[in-house]
Amino acid sequence: MAARATAVKTAPAPKPTTVPVTAKEIMQSPVIAATPRASLRDLAARLVTNEFSGMPVADLDGRVIGVITEADIIRGLLDGKRLENLTADEVMTGPALTVDVKTPIEDVMKCLHDHKIVRVPVTCEGKLVGIIARRDLIRALIEPEFLVFREKL
């Protein structure tokens, strides 16, 4: 006699609950920013040392005025310029797009995607307080599926 398959009813999987996540919850802070007068040589060294691909450029009061990236530095080199003779304000992309600390994560993703940018500075009352890169968004979306266990001391 052949075994008979029986259908087993299972309860539907619960729908995941989504908690509104804001820029403040996923941003990297503190954030390093260049001043407009920073030399490209110093900027390049900072990017390499910290393994950043770019950083905000801000006034002394914390107002974001631009962003400088590895691509901006390469462009300066291709133009035949010496990095120590260029400043951030001469090659940065500006004015910079920013998001507020209260911006929902979905809007941050849309900003990065729509403007084809890798990172966006985060502000609070117009002052720089953090930065979000694409990897921060991805990390925020995948981490709930992984657990970290540590030995209790």
Cβ neighbourhood burial of 28 (10 Å; 0-12, 13-18, 19+): middle
At 55-99, the pLDDT tens digits run 999 999 999 999 999 999 999 899 999 999 999 999 999 899 999
* CATH 3.10.580.10 assigned to 23-145: yes
- Among the listed residues 6, 1, 96, 79, the one whose alpha carbon sits nearest the alpha carbon of residue 40: 79
pLDDT at residue 21, as a whole number:
87
pLDDT at residue 6, as a whole number:
47
CA distance linking residue 34 with residue 59, whole number of Å: 9
At 18-34, the pLDDT tens digits run 555 899 999 999 999 99
CA distance linking residue 123 with residue 99, whole number of Å: 6
pLDDT at residue 110, as a whole number:
96
The yes-or-no verdict on residue 3 having pLDDT over 70 is: no
CA distance linking residue 56 with residue 133, whole number of Å: 12
Overall size of the chain counted in residues: 153
Helices (H) and strands (E) counted in the chain, each on its own, are 6, 5
Question: Residue holding tokens 């260029």?
Answer: 86
Question: Residue holding tokens 């609070």?
Answer: 124
Q: What letter does residue 120 receive in the DSSP assignment?
A: E
pTM for this predicted structure: 0.78
Q: Which two tokens stand for residue 31?
A: 């954030």
CB atoms < 10 A from the CB of 96, how many?
21
Give the start-to-end residue ranges of the domains of the chain: 23-145
φ, ψ of residue 136 to 5 degrees: the values are -65, -40
